[in-house]
Amino acid sequence: MRGGTSRRAGRGASQRVLRLDLPGGLESPARAAVPPDGLGSDDAVRGGGRAPLHRGAAAARHDDAHRAASRRLHDRRRVQASRPSAGRDHHPLEPVDGLTVTAAEDLRLLLDEREITRLVLRYAHGADRGDVDMVESCYHPGAYDDHGFASGTVEEFTARMRRGPSGPGVRHHLIGNVLIEVRDAAAVCESYFLCYMEDLDGAGTVAPAGLFAGRYVDRLERRDGGWRILHRICVLDWSRRSDEAPPAPRADTFGHGRRDDRDPAAAAFRELAASRP
């Protein structure tokens, strides 16, 4: 515990602020009420009916807590330093000055979860907008997708997508709950989805309107600093076939999505990429 205390004027009694030096340069102020001047540290505050204050014991407890925290931090750094670097898949974020190992690990986990969630969203965007290259970029080469009648390696899966209908039909994925568990360079992600599909060739002959609800169960690996799917199971929890229904009233007044580079979202992303220095 760092030496030096400060007094702050208070009502009836001043306060002494005890500052603890925690790992990573963090400070934790611990305030202990100090009797008015003239009273000893072990004297009761007369007239207040309060128990004696033992600042020495409290300070010792704080010292013990500080030493224990320092030992834990030292042990974690020693374990990390002892791990062999050869063959390790290093994450670009490493603990830096002023940031404890625990804080760095928490931040790394948040970044991993964000990247995996973004990957699932990119898959849905690519599938809906007909961007097969984007879909393929979500997988490691040779990855397997257990996707019902379309099951196969990612190369086979995306080749089937390229051969499929390219008309103005509807394919619409909605991603819901996403649960991610990360262990070093491996992760499992469960993503709920709703998918509405109809008239995929624009003539109403390929597939009737259908609503599919299920989950993507993905096993992922981080290689070369990036997360990709190694194995996916498309779990179908329920589905419904819908009869043909007319569009909603005044739906023709809205801009409509497209499955090519003239889609409004594709245009917006393209303009943003072109504006970067």
What is the tens place of the pLDDT at every residue in 165-182? Answer: 666 678 899 999 999 999
Domains delineated in the chain: 6-43+54-78 (no CATH), 102-244 (3.10.450.50)
How big, in percent rounded to 5, are the helix, strand and coil portions of the chain? 35, 30, 35
Classify residue 192 by burial, with Cβ atoms within 10 Å: 0-12, 13-18, 19+.
middle
Instruction: Please say whether the beta carbons of 105 and 96 come within 8 A.
Output: no
Q: Which residue has the higher pLDDT, 31 or 111?
A: 111
Ranges 24-33, 86-95, 104-113, 164-173: which has the least confidence: 24-33
Q: Summarize the confidence of residues 66-89 as an average pLDDT.
A: 56
Ranges 129-133, 196-200, 244-248: which has the least confidence: 244-248
Q: Summarize the confidence of residues 235-242 as an average pLDDT.
A: 88
Instruction: Identify the pLDDT of residue 31.
Output: 43
pLDDT at 137 over 60: yes
Instruction: Identify the pLDDT of residue 142.
Output: 97
Strand, helix or coil for residue 248: coil
Strand, helix or coil for residue 63: helix
Mean pLDDT of the chain: 74
- Of the pLDDT bands very low, low, confident and very high (cuts 50, 70, 90), residue 21 is very low
Using CA atoms, how far residue 141 sits from 75, 98, 136, in Å, is 39, 39, 9
**Encoded tokens for 44:** 């009761």
- Of the pLDDT bands very low, low, confident and very high (cuts 50, 70, 90), residue 72 is low
Return the percentage of the chain with pLDDT > 90, whole number: 36
